[in-house]
Amino acid sequence: MFENTSLRRLAAGVGAIALAAAGLLGGVAYADPGPGQEGAPDQGSIIVHKRVGTEGTRGNGTLLDPAPGTALPGVEFTVQRVGVWTGGACVAIDLTTNAGWTAAQLAVGPNPGAPATSAEEGKLCAAGSAVSKTTDVSGEATFDALALGLYYVTETNAPANVIDRALPFYVTIPFASKQGASETAPTDWLYNVNVYPKNATADKPTKTIGLDQVDLVVDADITWTIAQTIPTLSGVGSTFTEASIVDQLDPRLTYKSGAPVIENVTGDQLVAADYAFTNVNGKLTWVLSESGLSKLKANQGKKLSVELVTTVTSVAADNTTAGTITNDATVSFNDKPQTTETEPYSYWGNLTVTKQDVSSKAKLAGAEFKVFAQVEGLCPADMPTSGAIATGTSGTDGVVKWDSATPAESPLGLFIANSATPIANPTRNYCLYESVAPVGYVANAAPQTVTITTADNASLAVTVDNTKQTVPGLPLTGGVGTAVFGATGLVLVLGAIAGGTALRRRQSAN
pLDDT tens digits for range 257-274 = 999 999 999 889 999 999
Whole-number pLDDT of residue 175:
93
Q: Are strands 192-195 and 43-49 parallel, antiparallel or unpaired?
A: parallel
Identity at 398, one-letter amino acid code: G
Most confident listed range (117-121, 295-299, 476-480): 295-299
Domain edge (last residue) among 185, 201, 217 = 201
Task: Please compute the mean of the pLDDT values over residues 98-110 and round it to a whole number.
Answer: 89
Listed residues 343, 370, 387: the one ending a domain: 343
CA distance 470 to 457: 40
Q: What is the mean pLDDT of residues 31-35?
A: 79
Q: What is the distance between the alpha carbons of residues 203 and 30, in angstroms, rounded to a whole number?
A: 39
Q: Is residue 48 part of a domain?
A: yes
* pLDDT confidence of residue 29: 39
Residue 7 lies in a domain: no
Query: How many residues in total does the chain contain?
Result: 510
What pLDDT is stored for residue 24 in this prediction? 32
Any idea what the CATH number is for the domain that residue 229 is in? Answer: 2.60.40.740
Q: DSSP 3-state assignment of 330?
A: strand
Instruction: Give the contacts of 193 (CB within 8 A, at least 6 positions apart).
Output: 18, 19, 44, 45, 46, 47, 61, 171, 173, 174, 175
Same domain, 212 and 312: yes
Task: Indicate if 302 and 328 belong to the same structural domain.
Answer: yes
Ranges of H-type helices in 285-439: 290-297
Q: What is the pLDDT of residues 328-352, one digit of tens each?
A: 999 999 999 999 988 899 999 999 9
Q: Name the domain count of the chain.
A: 3
DSSP 489: H
pLDDT at site 6: 44
Q: Is the pLDDT of residue 25 over 60?
A: no
CATH number, domain of 354, equals 2.60.40.10
Taking the C-alpha atoms of residue 115 and residue 188, their distance in angstroms, rounded to an integer, is 27
Residue 16 has pLDDT above 60, yes or no: no
3-class SS letters over 206-232: EEEECCCCCCCECCCEEEEEEEEECCC
Please count the other Cβ atoms lying within 10 Å of the Cβ belonging to residue 184: 5
Could you give the residue ranges of the DSSP H alpha helices within 185-334? 290-297
5 within domain boundaries: no
Q: Is residue 78 located within the same domain as residue 182?
A: yes
H helical segments located in 233-344: 290-297
Residue 246 structural domain: 206-343
Task: Give the pLDDT confidence of 454-492 residue by residue, as tens digits.
Answer: 988 899 999 999 999 876 666 665 555 555 545 555 555
Task: State whether 119 and 253 are in the same domain.
Answer: no
As a whole number, mean pLDDT of residues 56-60 equals: 69
Domain shared by 331 and 363, yes or no? no
339 lies in the same domain as 455: no
Q: Which of 105-109, 215-219, 232-236 has the highest mean predicted lDDT (pLDDT)? A: 215-219
Angle in degrees, CA 242, 248, 253, rounded to 5 = 140
DSSP readout, 38-94?
Answer: TT--SEEEEEEE-EES---SPP-SSPPSSPSSEE--S-EEEEEEEEEEETTEEEEP-
Residues 383 and 284 in one domain: no
Asked whether residue 351 falls in the same domain as residue 456, the answer is yes
Confidence (pLDDT) at 378: 95
- For residue 37, tell me if it sits in a domain: no
Residues 215 and 301 placed together within one structural domain of the fold = yes
pLDDT for residue 248:
96
Q: CA 18 to CA 26: how far, in whole Å?
A: 14
Residue 482 lies in a domain: no
- 195 & 238 share domain: no
Are 85 and 105 part of one and the same domain? yes
Q: How far apart are CA 79 and CA 505, in angstroms?
A: 153
Q: One-letter amino acid identity for 320?
A: T
Q: Considering the entire predicted model, what is its pTM?
A: 0.74
pLDDT of residue 60: 85
Q: Is residue 486 a part of any domain in this protein? A: no
4 found inside a domain: no
Confidence of residue 179 (pLDDT cuts 50, 70, 90): low
- Expressed in angstroms, the distance from the first to the final Cα of the chain is 189
Lowest mean pLDDT among 11-15, 85-89, 277-281, 418-422: 11-15
- Least Cα distance to 19 among 212, 219, 167 occurs for 167
Return the percentage of the chain with pLDDT > 70, whole number.
82
Mean confidence (pLDDT) of the chain: 86
Say whether both 172 and 211 belong to one domain. Answer: no
The average pLDDT across 357-381 equals: 95
Does residue 291 lie in a domain region? yes
Instruction: Kindly state the average pLDDT of the residues 131-159.
Output: 96
The Cα 388–Cα 59 span in angstroms is: 71
Give the residue from 305, 324, 343 where a domain finishes. 343
| CA–CA dist 287, 130 (Å, integer) | 37
What is the percent of the chain where pLDDT is above 90?
65
Does residue 95 carry a pLDDT above 90? yes
CA distance 28 to 234: 26
